[in-house]
Every structure is written in structure tokens, then in C-alpha cells.
Amino acid sequence: MTFRLGTRGSALALAQAEEITGVLRDAGLDEEIRLVTVRTSGDRGGKGMRPKVGSFAADINILVLNGELDGGIHSMKDLPVNLPQGLELPVIPARGRRGDCLVSREYYTRLPTGSGVGSSSARRIAQLLRERGDLEPVMLRGNVTTRLGKVEKGKPEAAVLALCGLDRIGYRPSSGLHLHPLPVEKFVPAACQGALALVTASGRLPAKVAERADHGATRREVEMEREVLSQLGAGCNSPLGVSALSLGRGVHIRIQLLSPDGSIEKKVSAVVAGKEGIGGVLQPFTDEVSRSIIEGRWTGMEEGQPER
């Protein structure tokens, strides 16, 4: 039998597919694994258009539901909190590095005023403006290779990217560029960043293979981060960072919410026992200012909000 795995065709997506393939083989999957490249609606978006939320994952998952694929490989942060009925998430392998880094000639604290820093992430732009309001955010879209190529040409001077993606494609900076990891305390990464996911039809992957391939600590962290998104009603376009780290019986969770211009910041750092403890740490994010930011309604300085 053949186990057909769907993946996007970018260099990063193919590297992720090879990683999942290796995990499944090591876990004892005895079917031949065949990678199937899928051009999703997110990939087909027009030049300069932002892909619709979930568009990269949804098209592959439909093919899995229809039986045209046996599994789909995704970046965990691209998956919706609730999967369509009939699909399951049997394997979340060990997580890669979860943080962000600046690809540039200088560290972010030393970049000249007015330097362009590229990203299409509201969270990353807000974090940068919080730390360096004199920098110039530049909308930077495309796959990782495309974005890196633009920075290597100096347009823009720098970009913020996920460390895990650069690790997976084996990127080595050139043209005088360097990789500058950003401190997680000030640049809390996106929920599920660094984690991969295998989605299959319910029961399609043998239980013993799933048990061997799954990484318990990573699954626990990812479930905690997705629970935060669920309870706050936040999506991947919210300027929100969420990172959970397994610590024995507890989980250390960081949450950072910023207004799009970085003028407002709310942060939590706490150790909780499990999902049941998350509600207690979300109180700072339930006021109207926080709700307006999460829901995309924030337009400027709110009444009663002190200036930065």
C-alpha cells in the first residue's frame, strides 16, 4: 500500500514533508510513503494579496477528507483550532526552535533610524515598533526563500523570520547578513510556531505508529497554546504572541498582546498545571481595549489609555 502525503511545494514545505516522512518511517510505518505536491488557494493568491486565513491548510485537508490523500503535512500554526469532522491530528513531532530572528547586518538595537524591516505579521510589526518606533515596517510577503532573496538585495534592509523555518531549509546568510535571534521575553512567538502537524482521516494511521511518532511534550505545549487562542477568540492575524513550555508537571506560558502600532502592550508569564488553569491567566486580556485589538477593531489611542 501507498501512504499519500500532501504538501505545498515551497522549499520549506518540502523540508517539513521530509521531516514528517522520516518520523513516520522511524515509527514503523510499513507503507510506501509518496509525497504529493498541492498548489493551494493561498499559493494561487494574486501578487501582493494576503492569503485568506487557513487557505494553505484547508485545500489539503479537503483532499484528505475526500480520500484523495492519506495525510496532510502542515505548519501547526496554519491549522484552525477545530478540525473538520472526520479528520484527526495523530502526530505532532518534536518541535523545532520556536523563536523569531532578525535577518540583517546589524542587531535590531543597532539598526539606523528609518531602516526598513520586512514582515507581513501584525504581531512581528507591533513587537518591532514597541522596541524601535523609529524603524520602518515594510510589508514582505512570499515564501521564505523569496523573502530572504529580497533582504539579500537590501530591499528591505532586514526581515523578521521564524528560526525553525531557516533551520529546516538549512539557510546560511550571505551578503554580510547575520541571523540575530530575538529575545522571547520581548518577542513572544506565534502560537504553535516551530511545530509541525500530520492530519489524517480518523483511524487512517495505525495506532502504534501514531504513538511512536507523536511527541508528548510538544503536543502538550501546542494544545495549551491553541487553548489560549480559542478562549481569547484570536486568529493568526492578531498581534498576539503565545508560547507554552513544558516544565515537569507544569507548563510555563507567556502571552503578549500589542496594539498594531506597539503603543499598548499587555503581558503575562505564569506556570499553570494544565488547560484548566488557562482561564485564570487571561484576565488581563478581557477588557475592551484588549478585545478591540484581538478583534481587529482598534484604531488608535483608546479613552483612558496612557500614552507610551
Residue-wise pLDDT tens digits, 173-224: 988 999 999 999 999 999 999 999 999 999 999 999 999 999 999 999 999 9
- Domain shared by 255 and 144, yes or no: no
- Gap between the Cα atoms of 87 and 201, Å rounded: 4
Q: What is the pLDDT of residues 32-52, one digit of tens each?
A: 999 999 987 655 554 544 444
Task: Compute the C-alpha angle 45/48/49, nearest 5°.
Answer: 45
DSSP annotation string for 224-272: HHHHHHHHHT--TTSSEEEEEEEETTEEEEEEEEE-TTSS-EEEEEEEE
**Does any domain span residue 222?**
no
- Domain shared by 69 and 117, yes or no: no
Residue 51 has a pLDDT of: 44
Residue bearing the bigger pLDDT, 53 or 142: 142
- Domain shared by 79 and 134, yes or no: no
Residues with a catalytic annotation lie at 77-78, 123-124, 141, 147, 236
Residue 156: beta bridge partners? none
Let me know if 97 is exposed, middle or buried by CB neighbors in 10 A (0-12, 13-18, 19+): middle
- Domain shared by 8 and 58, yes or no: yes
Instruction: State the CATH number of the domain containing residue 277.
Output: 3.30.160.40
Mean pLDDT across 280-290: 96
**Does any domain span residue 299?**
no
How many domains does the chain fold into?
A: 3
Q: What is the pLDDT of residues 107-118, one digit of tens each?
A: 999 999 999 999
pTM of the full structure: 0.90
Residue 287 has a pLDDT of: 96
Between helix 144-152 and helix 11-26 the angle, nearest 10°, is: 130
CA distances from 101 to 10, 70, 167, 303 (A): 20, 34, 11, 34
Residue 190: what are its φ and ψ, rounded to 5°? Answer: -65, 150
CA distances from 220 to 5, 184, 196, 252, 256 (A): 24, 19, 13, 11, 20
- Domain shared by 141 and 78, yes or no: no
- Residue 139's domain comprises 100-181
**Does any domain span residue 304?**
no
